[in-house]
């Protein structure tokens, strides 16, 4: 506990004790052991059991002493015969004199408690406001964590898979350490670097590495810490942050999740948030205003660059925008080597195979993957993490944990087996499509069974998908539904293909409206994909075409879906025996991997699908 707060607590405790003692002295009254009603009191007097009566000055109460020494309190009514009764029964009578408190006693008793409360409040606030670590009543002070000699224990050697981004920041660190080499050719240090990328790709990790490498004061703060409910607090915190930074220049200021404070001004219904806009205006001024901020390098991170204000992104404030994207195969292999350092892996663990099985995984995903594998090994009482645990961890991360305790009837198991076999067989026999990785009928998450495909690395990195690939994708998605129809009949078709049908409809509509892959409508983009800022970009799409064009779009979507349906049905009907064999293997083993599927196809007379 902070020493100043501890002292304030001791002061408060002492004052509370004084209040208790003073209240006890002022309000103390003689204590009695019992009380009698007036009728009982008269009966005791007449019975000769009362020895002495002390009547109060206002004759409303009496303190009675019995023959055996007991003290009793009695409330007296206005009875004129009381004194005669007491005298008749030889009771000693005493009347308490009227006492008049002096003025200073009355003032003391009236003002003592409020005065003591004010003393307590004074000491508490004084202790709370003093000291560099206090936050009470210091709303306008910056909450940035300051490290004069950063000790993050993370260097660029701990950052893998994002070499280009690491190079950009390594130059910033090199500029801070060897500024003469750059200034000799007229180069100026970048004022700001904006790290942009999906969540989990290593933006904050890069900032920690910069802090560990730079050797200069490092300020770190989150964008949400600038904004409070009090107007002007955010701008005050920005000013205080840059005042501290200027006093310690050259230094680095890292703002994580800058989109919390740097969103576009004047956007949304009813205008923007005035407090956030004032904070943003102050941030713009401090980064590149009239005075400038020589010697301060701003590093910011966000996964929402589309919502940032244009004035914040311009050169002079953020000179560089570094994209920290999902790693490719080589990057994933480097990341796996980094995260495998502290884990006991068996000889059969092949990091290259893991890297190929995890396209699209970020650095955080890969770290979580190896951690899940280690947890599974510990749960199974193993001393090493084997490839089985890694494979189970990949399936767990991608689709959820297995539900082996769920009891499945033979009919349901057969239906799921034919459904997944339909997906796998159509995918395996389609030209230029992703290879099948694994087929399983073990329930995971919300799915009763799953078929994994290994996406092409080139397609994922480039984001370029051909028309034939999208047509194959729709056919593969329909393969499960068609397999159910062929084996069990149209009357027994289940709702298991609902997600597949949604995927097919989405791909077909995008081919027509976004990708210009419709023979009837031609290469035209129809419909605005994005609505107004902060109004729901995905659901507020605007329509810029007529009703006739909308009907034509629906017809083209239907034609594409029907074409994919016919191709998938043709493949399954021509390879019905292979479908039955694959489904039987799934019912027996529950899981079929890519090698077993390839062996089945190699030993069977299969017919490949025709090109659409």
DSSP letters along 383-415, please? SSB-HHHHHHHHHHHHH--B-TTS---HHHHHH
426 and 353 within one domain: no
d(CA 134, CA 142): 12
Asked if 145 and 133 count as a contact pair (C-beta separation under 8 A), the reply is no
pLDDT for the residue 42? 85
Examine residue 14 and state whether it is found in any structural domain, yes or no.
no
Are both 385 and 446 inside the same structural domain? no
Query: Residue 539: pLDDT band by 50, 70, 90 thresholds?
Result: very low
Helix spans in 249-342 (H): 274-288, 310-313, 329-339
Write the pLDDT tens digit of every residue in 358-411.
888 898 999 999 999 999 999 999 999 999 999 889 888 888 887 766 667 788
Residue for token digits 């910069």?
Answer: 210
| Residue range 191-240, pLDDT digits in tens | 889 999 888 888 888 888 887 887 788 888 888 777 765 556 778 888 88
Residue 453 is assigned to a structural domain of this protein = yes
Do residues 552 and 450 share a domain?
Answer: yes
Q: Which of 257, 334, 420, 484 is catalytic?
A: 420
Q: How many CB atoms lie within 10 A of CB 244?
A: 17
The chain-wide mean pLDDT, for the chain, equals 80
Calpha distance 333→160 (Å, rounded): 9
Asked if 382 and 510 sit in the same domain, the reply is: no
Angstrom CA distances, 494 to 411, 449, 506, 586, stand at 12, 14, 21, 19
Residue range 98-126: average pLDDT? 62
Q: Is 149 a catalytic residue?
A: no
Tens digit of each residue's pLDDT (9 = 90 or more) over 2-11: 555 555 555 5
Q: Residue holding tokens 């077993």?
A: 596
Same domain, 300 and 391: no
- pLDDT for the residue 182: 80
How far, in Å, CA of 373 to CA of 392, rounded? 7
Question: Tokens at residue 198, please?
Answer: 């999906």
Q: Which of 339, 371, 399 is the last residue of a domain?
A: 399
Query: Distance between CA atoms of 262 and 257, rounded to whole angstroms?
Result: 9
Q: How many CA atoms lie within 13 A of 466 on its CB side?
A: 11
What band does 109 get if pLDDT is binned at 50, 70 and 90?
A: low
Using DSSP's 3-state secondary structure scheme, residue 439 falls into strand
- Decide which of 533 and 63 is more confident: 63
Residue 461 has pLDDT above 80, yes or no: no
Q: What CATH number is associated with residue 349? A: 1.10.8.60
More confident residue, 395 or 150: 395
Q: What is the CATH number of the domain that holds 67?
A: 3.30.720.210
**Least confidently predicted of 66-75, 141-150, 388-397, 565-574:** 141-150
Structure confidence by residue, pLDDT tens digits, 464-484: 889 999 999 999 999 999 999
Q: Do 170 and 80 lie in a common domain? A: no
User: Is there a single domain that holds both residue 315 and residue 335?
Assistant: no
- Enclosing domain of residue 90: 31-95
Domain presence at residue 404: no
Domains in the chain, number: 4
Coil vs helix vs strand at 268: coil
> CA-based diameter of the chain, in Å?
132
Angle at 211 (CA atoms; ends 282, 175), nearest 5 degrees: 85
- Where is average pLDDT lowest: 61-65, 225-229, 270-274? 270-274
CA distance 414 to 410: 6
pLDDT higher than threshold 70 for residue 107? no
- Report pLDDT for 557: 94
* Residue 528 domain flag: yes
Tell me: pLDDT of 351 over 80: yes
Question: Could you read off the pLDDT of 408-450 as tens digits, one per residue?
Answer: 778 888 999 999 999 999 999 998 898 998 999 988 877 788 8
Q: Residue 110 domain-assigned?
A: no
Q: Is the pLDDT of residue 510 over 80?
A: yes
CATH number of the domain encompassing residue 272: 3.40.50.300
| Final residue of a structural domain among 365, 399, 433 | 399
DSSP code string of 105-144? HHHHHHHHHHHHHHHHHHHHHHHHHSSTT--TT-TTS---
Q: Is the pLDDT of residue 30 over 80?
A: no
pLDDT at 319 over 70: yes
Residues 216 and 249 in one domain: yes
The answer to whether position 536 is within a domain reads: yes
Classify residue 609: in a domain, yes or no: no
Question: 97 or 545: whose pLDDT is higher?
Answer: 545
Question: What number is the average pLDDT over the span 547-574?
Answer: 93
**How many other β-carbons are positioned within 10 Å of the β-carbon of residue 210?**
28
Are residues 298 and 422 both part of a single domain?
no
Q: Which residue, chain included where needed, has tokens 């092949």? A: 350
pLDDT for residue 576? 92
pLDDT score at 281: 86
* pLDDT reported for residue 99: 55
> Per-residue pLDDT for 538 more than 60?
no
**pLDDT for the residue 172:** 82
Please identify, among 72, 95, 118, the residue that sits at the C-terminal boundary of a domain: 95
Could you tell me if residue 122 is inside a domain?
no
Question: Is residue 372 within 8 Å of 357, Cβ to Cβ?
Answer: no
Q: In terms of domains, do 162 and 309 share one?
A: yes
Taking 50 as the threshold, does the pLDDT of residue 136 lie above it? no
Backbone angles phi, psi at 347, to 5 degrees: -70, -25
The reply to whether 393 and 461 lie within a common domain is no
pLDDT at 502: 93
Are residues 423 and 395 part of one domain?
no
């Amino acid at each position: 506990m902070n020493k100043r707060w501890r002292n304030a607590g001791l002061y408060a405790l002492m004052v509370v004790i004084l209040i208790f003692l003073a209240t006890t002295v002022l309000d103390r009254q003689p204590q009695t052991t019992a009380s009698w009603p007036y009728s009982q009191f008269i009966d005791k007097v007449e019975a000769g059991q009362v020895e002495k009566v002390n009547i109060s000055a206002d004759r409303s109460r009496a303190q009675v002493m019995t023959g055996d020494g007991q003290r009793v309190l009695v409330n007296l009514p206005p009875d004129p015969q009381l004194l005669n009764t007491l005298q008749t029964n030889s009771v000693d009578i005493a009347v308490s004199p009227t006492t008049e408190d002096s003025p200073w006693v009355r003032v003391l008793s009236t003002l003592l408690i409020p005065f003591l409360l004010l003393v307590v409040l004074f000491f508490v606030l004084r202790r709370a406001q003093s000291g560099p670590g206090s936050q009470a009543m210091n709303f306008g002070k910056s909450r940035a964590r300051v490290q004069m000699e950063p000790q993050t224990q993370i260097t660029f050697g701990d950052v893998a898979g994002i070499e280009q981004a690491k190079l950009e920041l390594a130059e910033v660190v090199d500029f801070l350490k060897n500024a003469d080499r750059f200034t000799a050719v007229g180069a100026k240090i970048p004022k700001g670097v904006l790290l942009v990328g999906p969540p989990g790709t290593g933006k904050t990790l890069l900032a920690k590495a910069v802090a560990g490498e730079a050797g200069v004061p490092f300020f770190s703060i989150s964008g949400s810490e600038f904004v409070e409910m009090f107007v002007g607090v955010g701008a005050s915190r920005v000013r205080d942050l840059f005042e501290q930074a200027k006093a310690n220049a050259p230094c680095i200021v890292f703002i994580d999740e800058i989109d919390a404070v740097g969103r576009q001004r004047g956007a949304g219904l009813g205008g923007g948030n005035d407090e956030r806009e004032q904070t943003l205006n102050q941030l713009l001024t401090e980064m590149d205003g009239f005075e400038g901020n020589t010697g301060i390098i701003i590093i910011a991170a966000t996964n929402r660059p589309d919502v940032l204000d244009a004035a914040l992104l311009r050169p002079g404030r953020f000179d560089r925008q570094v994209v920290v994207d999902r790693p490719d195969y080589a990057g994933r292999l480097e990341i796996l080597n980094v995260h495998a350092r502290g884990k006991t892996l068996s000889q059969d663990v092949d990091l290259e195979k893991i890297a190929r099985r995890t396209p699209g995984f970020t650095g955080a995903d890969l770290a979580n993957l190896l951690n899940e594998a280690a947890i599974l090994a510990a749960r199974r009482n193993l001393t090493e993490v084997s490839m089985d645990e890694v494979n189970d961890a990949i399936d767990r991360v991608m689709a959820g944990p297995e539900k082996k305790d769920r009891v499945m009837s033979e009919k349901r198991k057969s239906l799921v087996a034919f459904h997944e076999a339909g997906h796998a067989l159509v995918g395996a026999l389609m030209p230029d499509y992703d290879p099948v990785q694994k087929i399983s009928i073990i329930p995971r998450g919300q799915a009763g069974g799953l078929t994994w495909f290994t996406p092409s690395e080139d397609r994922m990195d480039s984001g370029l998908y051909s028309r034939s690939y999208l047509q194959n994708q729709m056919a593969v998605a329909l393969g499960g539904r068609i397999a159910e129809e062929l084996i069990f009949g149209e009357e027994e078709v289940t709702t298991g293909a609902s997600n597949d049908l949604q995927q097919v409809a989405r791909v077909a509509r995008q081919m027509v409206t976004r990708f210009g892959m419709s023979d009837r409508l031609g290469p035209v983009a129809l419909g605005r994909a994005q609505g107004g800022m902060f109004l729901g970009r995905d659901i507020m799409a605007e329509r810029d075409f007529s009703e006739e064009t909308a009907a034509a779009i629906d017809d083209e979507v239907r034609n594409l879906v029907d074409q994919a349906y016919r191709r998938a049905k043709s493949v399954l009907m021509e390879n019905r025996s292979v479908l039955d064999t694959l489904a039987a293997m799934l019912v027996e083993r529950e899981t079929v991997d890519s090698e077993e599927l390839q062996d089945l196809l190699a030993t069977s007379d299969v017919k490949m699908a025709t090109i659409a």
